[in-house]
Structure 1
Amino acid sequence: MNYGIAGAVALCCSVISVQAAADDFDVLQPLADKPQKMTAGTYAGNYYVPSTTQTVNWGYLPNQSAKPVLTVPSGSAVTFDTISHEGILEDQGRDPVAYFATKGVAEDQVLDDAIAITASDFEHDFYNDGPHIVTGPVAVEGAEPGDVLKVEVIKLEPRVPYGVISNRHGKGALPGEYPKTEPEPNPSSEHPERYANVSTFAPIVKDGDRWYGTLDAGNERTIRFPLHPFMGIMGVAPATSEPVNSVPPSRIGGNADINDLGVGSTVYYPIEVDGGLFYTGDSHFTQGDGEVALTALEGSMRATLKLTVLKSGKAELPGKQVDKLLGETNDYWITVGLDEDLDLAMKDAVRESIRFLHQHYDIDEALALAYLSAATDFEVSQVVDKTKGIHALIRKADFKEFDGDND
């Protein structure tokens, strides 16, 4: 997701739909109460980081002053439990048991860690802080400024059988037009209805081997759409001691919201501080390009990621260098442009794509621009995170004769 400050008005699916989802789903409660290496069970051999008041930031990303919650060797698989902010924010009452009960969700279908964090004295400024629960950071042995952190997305598992899509006043692609509800004076977690924002509840259901999000359209009609999970926030810590709001993405990661970076993808982040200090959060069950309401279908996820340090100047670095987050899938290289102005984000994405093609495949820059114009899709990642994002999908198959391809 993204930036948000509000909303307890919700469109609720039926209790029957929620129960149908729950019947096919085991809620993934925390594996342990502190970071550790797992020695038994499904995640044996993985390091594990739960989401607790000791391992998360609410609304801010780790900076260079952050203390790592865990340090792991390069090449380690780390399983993170993440918590969606949707259903726990002040505009939703800061009480997930009560909030989701209004949607027909039993208390045992609400995550224990979400309950614990919202019931704690964890400070969160609804108007000035970002909305996200960010888990970490994890330090990686040997990581130094100038190196690159390679993050491979191994597995993404929904922790609950439901999600939420929110549209909040002053946010989204159509601020001032939506929501159409009228705010009331003195909103608070005790009176969340006064924010008058819209949060739409969406159970997820299984059909065969596929999971789908569902929306109740009334008159016994249901909208159903396939899930494509990914982590909205991943990144490394910046070289600053100043607070880093969780909303705007940057060249070293954060709230990039690129929906192509699901299971099987790899992301490269330039490291600015010792240990890298990797973090993740803002898990999405699925998101359309643009994320126009404000949020995706937000839901808590268990993410297993492999963290590997690539030393500066080594041959395994894609494009010879990584100065800005770079994505990779089986089919595409994903270059990224960022700016508060969408037009300038587009220019940034084109320049970064030219640089990558020139350095990685050793082709002339003018030829790279011609190729991009003829054969590459530039997609709007999101327009709602203050800093807007454009990403390019550079097709690997077009360069199969080039030695620079690291497939």
Structure 2
Amino acid sequence: MSLTVLQPGEGAITGQHLLTSTPETVRWGWLPNAAATPCLTVNSGDTVTIDTLSHEGILDDQGRDPVGFLGGYGIKAAEVTRDAKEIAASAIPNGTDDGPHVVTGPIAVAGARPGDVLKIDVLELLPRTPYGFVSSRHGYGALPGELPEGPSNVWQFCEVGFDGGRMVSWMAAADGRRACFPLDPFLGLMGVAPATSDPVHSVAPGDFGGNIDIKWAQVGTALYLPVSVDGALFYTGDPHYAQGNGEVALTALEASLRATVRLSVLSGPRVAAAVGTLRTPVVETASHWIPTGLDVSLDEAMRNCVRNAITFLVERFGFDRSTAMAYLSAAGDFEVSQVVDAVKGVHCMIRKSDFAQWV
């Protein structure tokens, strides 16, 4: 079994709608705001297939020439996606003041209003290339000033393949032996437009979602985001093949994905049943509820996550706040989502099996 390049719009499209990444449908380094014009309008409950594009290989510090840059790693021009070539060659600016992310959208969802919640069900994530990159750039990451060593930024090229039917990649030691690690694709950036007409940078996540980089938002999960503008204006980008909690190098294993999602508007009692009064991102998997906390300070992000997890338990299960705090200390797992996006993230893993009497 091997992976081949999935060009935009080619092959099986499982969603009711298709949105590809073109100079007309993306923002490079910036998020849609309240004044953004939708690329597509869908009904609540519709499914959309989105060909997302990784920024790695097209950025200015990589020559803004994906054929030339990737060719240095043995990738043939035919193995470079057409949307990477098109967007790199476009007039869209992307300099040092812009974020790196290619953000596709927004998609308006008919009937969404402020106060509602947009539920994003992740139905399918297909790799678009048999390769990706982990980046370490000077002045960024968990150890700025220490790594990367030497004068150059470091791009770790990773081939992608299969081992026993599992999608994997490898990294080699100096003696040639290789660590083999599993891949679990997810979209690092999913969000709705915040209620502002000011420019919104793509790097820092917020209550609107954006670049939250939560590795558990894989196929079969749902992300809940508070709607702040009519239509919600959903967007996505920053596709990953794999990420460790923390994302310490600066990026995870970055590579383009074909994503199919279902966009559903929750209103009134359905909001209360899903997330209560929380107006911050919440992820739900088959096994866990995952409230989040964000702040420029990792300590405060942790405190915000604890507060949000307490609120979730109090409103969903009728705990008092002290019992909720005790439960989280005994049984909740707090993980660092990422420390590299200016606004840092912490998420809490709450096991659904612990609440079998409520289900």
Corresponding residue of 2:129: 160
Which of 295, 305, 308 matches 1:339?
A: 295
Corresponding residue of 1:176: 145
C-alpha change, 1:42 and 1:390, in structure 2 (3 Å) is same
**CA deviations over 1:330-386 (Å, ceiling 9, x no partner):** 110001010101101100000000000000111111000000000010000000000
Distance in 2 (CA, whole Å) between partners of 1:319 and 1:44 is: 29
Mapping 1:228-267, distance limit 5 Å: 228-267=184-223
Distance in 2 (CA, whole Å) between partners of 1:171 and 1:319 is: 34
SS at match of 2:270: coil
Offset at residue 44 of structure 1 (A): 5.3
1:146 correspondence with 2:115: yes
Distance in 2 (CA, whole Å) between partners of 1:204 and 1:285 is: 9
Which of 93, 110, 124 matches 2:80?
A: 110
Mapping 1:294-313, distance limit 5 Å: 294-313=250-269
Corresponding residue of 1:128: 97
Distance in 2 (CA, whole Å) between partners of 1:134 and 1:27 is: 21
Offset at residue 213 of structure 1 (A): 1.3
Corresponding residue of 2:56: 86
**Sequence identity percentage:** 52
Offset at residue 264 of structure 1 (A): 0.6
1:25 correspondence with 2:13: no
User: Which has the larger displacement, 212-221 or 98-107?
Assistant: 212-221
Offset at residue 219 of structure 1 (A): 3.5
**CA deviations over 1:247-277 (Å, ceiling 9, x no partner):** 0100110000000110111010000000000
Which of 279, 293, 298 matches 2:235?
A: 279
SS at match of 1:290: coil
Corresponding residue of 1:270: 226
SS at match of 2:303: helix
Which of 55, 61, 72 matches 2:42?
A: 72
Offset at residue 316 of structure 1 (A): 6.4
Instruction: State whether residues 148 and 322 of structure 1, in contact with CA within 8 Å, keep that contact through their aligned partners in structure 2.
Output: no
SS at match of 2:307: helix
C-alpha change, 1:243 and 1:305, in structure 2 (3 Å) is same
Distance in 2 (CA, whole Å) between partners of 1:329 and 1:50 is: 27
Instruction: State whether residues 57 and 133 of structure 1, in contact with CA within 8 Å, keep that contact through their aligned partners in structure 2.
Output: yes
Which of 316, 328, 332 matches 1:360?
A: 316
Distance in 2 (CA, whole Å) between partners of 1:214 and 1:249 is: 30
Unaligned runs of 5+ in 1: 1-22, 33-40, 183-195
SS at match of 1:372: helix
SS at match of 1:351: helix
Corresponding residue of 2:170: 214
TM-score by length of 2: 0.97
Offset at residue 315 of structure 1 (A): 6.2
Instruction: State whether residues 268 and 322 of structure 1, in contact with CA within 8 Å, keep that contact through their aligned partners in structure 2.
Output: no
Matched residue type, 1:213:
S
Matched residue type, 1:335:
P
Unaligned runs of 5+ in 2: none
Q: How many residues align?
A: 359
SS at match of 2:120: strand
Offset at residue 218 of structure 1 (A): 3.8
Corresponding residue of 1:63: 33
Offset at residue 215 of structure 1 (A): 1.9
Matched residue type, 1:61:
L
Instruction: State whether residues 122 and 260 of structure 2, in contact with CA within 8 Å, keep that contact through their aligned partners in structure 1.
Output: yes
C-alpha change, 1:384 and 1:315, in structure 2 (3 Å) is closer
TM-score by length of 1: 0.86
Corresponding residue of 2:285: 329
Offset at residue 180 of structure 1 (A): 1.1
Q: Pairwise CA RMSD of aligned residues?
A: 1.3
Distance in 2 (CA, whole Å) between partners of 1:134 and 1:104 is: 27
